[in-house]
Amino acid sequence: MAPSEIGLMAMLLLAQENPWDTAPAFYHARIVVEEGVAPPVSPQIIPDPPVRCIIGEVFGNGQVNFEVPLRSSGSCPVTIRLAGYRKNQAILRNEAVIVMKRPGNYANSTVSLTTLQAPEQARKAYEKGVAAMLGKKWDSARKELEGAVAVYPEYAPAWNALGEVRTALSQPQQAQEAFERAAKADPKFAPAWAHLAHIAAGEGRVNDTMQAAERVIQLDPKGYPDVYADLALADLALKRPEAAEKSARRAVELDTLHEIPRTERVLGSVLAAKGDQKGAIEHWQKYLEMSPKAEDAAEVRDQIARAEAAPSPTPPPSESPRQ
């Protein structure tokens, strides 16, 4: 029996006992993806437990209708699944907005002021661009997002999304320009600074990495574990191993759902640079467990093999007992 049928039967039984106290109450909530727009396809919504509420239709704008017994609190605990996004165990309440996040994103859900000021034409183009982006229709996404920022050049989330699309299209310089425009349009828009930190780290631009990473941490100290990994690499390049280890361990600590394998590899590299081969091997092995098919998996296995073959450091001589 489907969960909705079980819930309906439970409501009918309750209504026979006390019909005026258990007449269903109808509510609606809204589900959006982290870009602030409706999901590209209808998510799977499973009540937990199923007798608490009945899920109705999910509309194209992300609105979901649900009903609960009148004597309940008007809340509906659910599990929401959407391809490409993290499973979300949430509580539906009337007028609530539930945000679906991609794996690896722990950032607080914030709305850029530029979004609130965007004209309707720009917002519609942005929504179409995000939908195309989520469907990996990169050329269509680029066209729509470029249209959005042409109408409204200060549209920070549209510039940020355009940067992601240009990255997917292997246009690194154009991607960086888009992220810079997003950060300029809204200096408090942390996702753009996170992208800039990651690009700078990949290109070995230490000072730029430090500046962008520190800006992200100032805006959202717990939302971007990967940025701490970027910061660790910058500290390592500056010959600051203790600071590098602190940042790398913070990256691993904040990745509470173990969704960012790179944090483990970076910590391993930092420990190796400090001479802690045992610790390095441990975290490199965790990296391979989390991402066994990574493009650099063979390189990491070679690092492990070299670390295992390296001679153990000679312990300091023990002090002779006093006579």
Bridge-partner residues for 97, per DSSP?
A: 30
The CATH code of the domain at 113-309 is: 1.25.40.10
Bridge-partner residues for 142, per DSSP?
A: none
Residue 21 pLDDT > 60, yes or no?
no
Kindly report the pTM of this predicted structure: 0.82
CB–CB of 138/168 below 8 Å?
yes
Residue 293 pLDDT > 60, yes or no?
yes
User: Is residue 321 very low, low, confident or very high in pLDDT (cuts 50, 70, 90)?
Assistant: very low
266-288 per-position pLDDT tens digit: 999 999 999 999 999 999 999 99
Give the domain ranges of the chain.
3-100, 113-309
- Which CATH number does the domain 3-100 belong to among 3.40.50.2300, 2.60.40.1120, 3.40.50.300, 2.40.160.100? 2.60.40.1120
> Distance (Å, rounded) from C-alpha 286 to C-alpha 136?
30
127-155 per-position pLDDT tens digit: 999 989 988 999 999 999 999 999 999 99
Query: What is the CB neighbour count within 10 angstroms for residue 320?
Result: 6
Rounded to 5 degrees, φ, ψ at 163 are -60, -40
Written as one string, the DSSP assignment of 54-120 is EEEEE-TTSEEEEEEETTS-S-EEEEEE-TTS--EEEEE-TT-EEEE--TT--------HHHHH--H
In angstroms, the Cα distances linking 300 to 50, 265, 270, 310 are 46, 8, 14, 15
Residue 4 pLDDT > 80, yes or no?
no
